[in-house]
Amino acid sequence: MRFVAVHCVPESVAEALESNGHEVLRLRNQMAANAPDPGVIEQAQRLDAVLLLLNGDFSDIVRDPPSQYGGIISMQVRNRPEVLAQLTERLTRSLRDPSDREHYRGKLLLVEAHRTRVRGAA
């Protein structure tokens, strides 16, 4: 599966996904760090990729309805960098087969230390 990792996603997360057979495009190689949110999500859409980010960006399902996007995964670090390895492990375990891209369309996955919540399409 293809992901677009925003600037704040640590390289360790991208490398973990790649070692599990996924393609991870780094947004920093395509857009400025201060690119507006609409441009970021448009780039993910253009690349037919799941947007991968940290914390709250795109987590407001009223402002950014998941049904309008090709998939968003938000790792909920919440100023606790010590949980990043645990979140990365939870994310890699929860991902389906890399070819099952359709499963993520229209959904927002909130990866937390103790669970993964799914919002959006049923």
Q: Domain map of the chain by residue range?
A: 2-120
Residues of the chain with pLDDT under 50: none
With beta carbons less than 8 A apart as the criterion, state whether 95 and 1 touch. yes
What is the rounded CA–CA span in Å between residue 2 and residue 4? 7
pLDDT in the model for residue 45: 92
Residue-averaged pLDDT of the chain:
86
Q: Phi, psi (5° rounding) for residue 71? A: 120, 135
> What is the model's pTM?
0.87
Domain 2-120 has CATH 3.40.50: yes
pLDDT in the model for residue 15: 96
Residues counted in the chain: 122
